[in-house]
Structure 1
Amino acid sequence: MPWWTSLLFLAISVMLWMSGRNNPDDVIGLLERLLAALLVLVVVLVSQNLVLESVALIAALRLPFASGSRH
């Protein structure tokens, strides 16, 4: 996938995410945010762009761990 297509998909995903956050209907807003996340996954996993894959890996590694303490 060319770099300009990746940037276009990322721009569309940002617009969808912002539209989903501002949508008064919760279901449509959730759908827009899911579509935005799917577009980002397509760009990261399909585009074979090492920079984007590295950023996604670093972001995934920085996620907090779930606490395993049970009472």
Structure 2
Amino acid sequence: MDNEPRWIELETRLAFQEHTLGELSRIVHEQRIDIDALRLRLDRALSDLGSLRDSLAGDAAPEPPPPHY
């Protein structure tokens, strides 16, 4: 019984799976970089928003009454 075609099929499948795993690994790595960059941007935006809130809330000086009073 000749097992050569079976070995060729198994080697072909293995090569395909190795290629697929390499591609998936690359994609996961790229997505991790994107997530880290987005997380940094979100942290900066939240910090800016907090600073803006503090500056707006800091103007608690009494306002003069409107002219019609």
Same fold (TM over 0.5): no
User: Comparing both chains, which one has the higher relative contact order based on Cα–Cα distances under 8 Å and sequence gaps of 6 or more?
Assistant: 1
Normalised to the residue count of structure 1, the TM-score between the two structures is 0.33
> What TM-score comes out, normalization by structure 2 length?
0.34
Q: Which has the larger radius of gyration?
A: 2
